[in-house]
Amino acid sequence: MKRTKVTFNNEKLHVSSELMRALAHPLRLKILEFIDAHGTINVNKIYKTLQIEQSITSQHLKILKIAGVVHGEKEGKFMRYNINYDIVHRAVKAVNNFLGK
């Protein structure tokens, strides 16, 4: 059997791992589903409706934002979030390709 040289682009690997890490948490998926159902939504509505502490909600949103999954913009004294569907669709496609679906 012929051996193949395995090489990785470290930067792409890091970005991909952060994205998968962000999407691999049940609470973050629940938050994403809630944002998806409402389009752009205020962070207060997220934590009050889902009955999650504000600080925990903010921590999870920060991880999603760093991974590029959500966009956050300040509106007055509140933060409003929406989903970066391009990133989500690319992640779904990559996972499906990896799994051979």
CB 64 within 8 Å of CB 24: no
**Whole-model pTM?**
0.85
Choose the CATH number for 26-99 among 3.40.50.720, 3.30.1510.10, 1.10.10.10, 1.10.150.240: 1.10.10.10
Show me where the domains of the chain are located. 26-99
Burial, 71: exposed, middle or buried (Cβ in 10 Å; 0-12, 13-18, 19+)? middle
In this predicted model, what pLDDT tens digit does every residue of 25-42 receive, in sequence order? 999 999 999 999 999 999
Residue type, 17: S
**Cα dihedral sign, 25-39-45-42:** positive
Token pair 């934002």 is found at 65
pLDDT in tens, 58-91: 999 999 999 999 999 998 988 999 999 999 999 9
Helix, strand, coil abundance in the chain, percent, nearest 5: 60, 15, 25
